[in-house]
Structure 1
Amino acid sequence: MQKTIKQGLSLLCICIIAKQGFSQYYFRDDKHYSNDVVIEAGVAIGVMNSFTDLGGRSGQGKGFLKDLTMKTTRPSAGFYAAAIYREWLAVRLEATFGTVHGYDSILQNVAASTQGRYERNLSFKSPVRDVQLALELHPLFLKYYEENKAPFWSPYLVAGIGLFNFNPQAQLNGKWYDLQPLRTEGQGFAEYPGKKQYKRTQVNVPLGIGLRYEIKTNLFIRAELVHRILFTDYLDDVSGTYIDPAAFYNHLPAEQAAIAEQLANRSMMLENGYRPGPGEQRGNPKDNDSYFTFQLKLGYTIPGQKRKGVGR
């Protein structure tokens, strides 16, 4: 992964420092030529949401868009730089920052249909930081346009590879606790050899669509939706089964073990008689978690050469 990102950075740097003598030119507008490769840099602001074991909508848990609830949407922001070849193909390096959030209590009004998900009563939040190296394909610019005939709008596709960091947390008595060190499902405990500790920095696969609009020469606005496919089910620290609380005290300091016991099983906080025991289902390990962003981006491209005798 690190090698891939380094290669992408190298490609981006080569595009930035490439001498104009090695490029052909075409008319960007009535005042400028443009290189074959131009550099666009910009900032992004928008929202982030996730699909995890917690929260969702009525029923057993349908997965993906059928389980989407907008109540857990949170702000996101970022910045990017792209090397764009002849307007149709781009290599982009981008960083994104946001927070994902989920809680079973959102299901209170449909509790009768959730088959114990509401009664499970778990919740989490996690800051998310990701960096991605992606390709953009702009289909409308696969054809040649005469001067001043190119469209201002450009729909495009995005696909790449990313690296993200997350840190699921839960609240107890007004204080937030990092969940991974508490090993709430017995990850890494000798009593549960099949449960491995998860890493908080992992690879993802971003896939998305966007729309780019030329406000004026060298200034662009974008609207973009990008979904991240993950290879972990622990974005929310929930995946498998409940464990025997005694295991916490076998492996963690007593104070930490007491916190882990309370955050691993929170059903007792509801007066409904639901008390899952060791080995009962806590999450669904068959479906990995994921998250997505919808963002507006403002980008600026480095001006091309001025055409002789035209403009200032």
Structure 2
Amino acid sequence: MKRNYTLLWALLMLSGVNVSAQKRNLSGHKYINPFGVLSLTGGLGIAYYTGDLRDGVNMKHLGLGPSISLGALYRLTEHVSARGELRFYQVSADQKYSKNYQNNLSFRTRNPDLNIGIQAELFSFNNQPKVNPYLFGGLGFTLLNPKAKLDNQWYKLAPLRTEGVKYSRLPLVFTAGIGVSVKTTNRLSLGAELCNNFVNSDYLDDVSTVYPNPDLLPGDLARRLSDRAPEIGEQPRQPGWNRGSAKNKDSYLFLQMRATYLIGNRQQALERKKTRCPKF
């Protein structure tokens, strides 16, 4: 009987050791349920446009602008988080640096966008890796606001209907990218991210199809900004001539430096409170 009690005691002790071991990850840190862990994110970098007014990379005129993002990560599993961001970007292009210089079209746009999606990390949350690569994808909207400069003044192009059509200024945007984060403190991670944003519209730059009949445009300003070839001594474009190409829609790319600050969940908040307020 005594031998049976000794065996039972040994099994209980072993079970306790196993439970304790399960509550710690491979790094020796206490296990934390990943679901609901919240982090704040921010990014700062450059934006680059591809579309009808660009026919390749021209180092004389990249048309780069700033890109800024603020958002959050809400952890779902050890490897996956929901992701949401409010972003702002500026891009531009000028055909005088392209093979279609004779059309003389140009634009600049400063747009906000809102994006939500999923981020998948290579290494698990509870292993607390120093370096963690990740992939992400999402869906959102951007507000189009293309402008062009004429006589030293910037004009909004969408209301002028320079191609004789009214297009949506709030198209869908599909986002995909890759990044890496480097843990610098228990709460702060820094890193870099490359993100491509595919617009479900060909009017990010206000150029898509053909030159319209100028008589059908709303006024002289619209006619001047629709066909800018005469400004450089070219003949006016005939209605129906290619102004752009609707085959490929526009996109904009972000290259950003990123910061992620771990807020945590309720479990971690309670543990921090106990640490700050010891009982005597």
TM bucket (normalised to shorter chain) is 0.7 to 0.9
Partner letter of residue 139 of structure 1? L
RMSD of aligned Cα (Å): 2.6
Residue aligned with 1:201, SS: coil
The count of aligned residue pairs is 248
The gaps in structure 1 that reach 5 residues or longer are 1-23, 58-66, 108-113, 188-196
**Contact 2:201/2:250, CA 8 A, preserved across alignment:** yes
Match of 2:93 in 1: 102
Match of 2:186 among 201, 212, 217: 217
Match of 1:90 in 2: 81
Match of 1:200 in 2: 169
Between 1:24-33 and 1:294-303, the stretch displaced more is: 24-33
**Contact 1:43/1:80, CA 8 A, preserved across alignment:** yes
Change (3 A) 1:140 1:29: closer
Matched residues, percent identical?
29
**Contact 1:51/1:68, CA 8 A, preserved across alignment:** no
- Encode CA deviations 1:172-230: one digit per residue, 9 max, x unaligned: 1111111111111111xxxxxxxxx2111111110000101111101111211111111
Q: 2: distance between equivalents of 1:169 and 1:124?
A: 5
The gaps in structure 2 that reach 5 residues or longer are 1-21
**Contact 2:146/2:206, CA 8 A, preserved across alignment:** yes
**Contact 1:32/1:307, CA 8 A, preserved across alignment:** no
Q: 2: distance between equivalents of 1:41 and 1:27?
A: 24
Change (3 A) 1:36 1:201: same
Partner letter of residue 301 of structure 1? L
Match of 2:103 in 1: 120
Partner letter of residue 204 of structure 1? V
Change (3 A) 1:68 1:233: farther
What are the within-5 Å matches in structure 2 for residues 48-59 of structure 1? Answer: 48-57=47-56
What are the within-5 Å matches in structure 2 for residues 51-70 of structure 1? Answer: 51-57=50-56, 67=57
Q: 1: distance between equivalents of 2:40 and 2:23?
A: 21
What are the within-5 Å matches in structure 2 for residues 157-176 of structure 1? Answer: 157-176=135-154
Q: 1: distance between equivalents of 2:32 and 2:107?
A: 49
Residue aligned with 1:181, SS: helix
**Contact 2:113/2:140, CA 8 A, preserved across alignment:** yes
Match of 2:202 in 1: 233
Structure showing greater Rg: 2
Match of 1:293 in 2: 254
- Encode CA deviations 1:131-171: one digit per residue, 9 max, x unaligned: 111101112329x85xxxx5311110001111111111111
**Contact 2:83/2:119, CA 8 A, preserved across alignment:** yes
Match of 2:160 in 1: 182
TM-score (norm 1): 0.73
Q: Quote how far apart the aligned CAs of 1:30 are.
A: 7.0
**Contact 2:46/2:256, CA 8 A, preserved across alignment:** yes
Match of 1:11 in 2: none
- Encode CA deviations 1:210-256: one digit per residue, 9 max, x unaligned: 101111101111211111111110100001111121112xxx3xxxx
**Contact 1:97/1:130, CA 8 A, preserved across alignment:** yes
**Contact 2:48/2:62, CA 8 A, preserved across alignment:** no
Match of 2:116 in 1: 133
- Encode CA deviations 1:16-42: one digit per residue, 9 max, x unaligned: xxxxxxxx9656977866342311102
Match of 2:232 in 1: 270
Match of 1:242 in 2: 211
Q: Quote how far apart the aligned CAs of 1:43 are.
A: 1.8
Change (3 A) 1:35 1:264: same
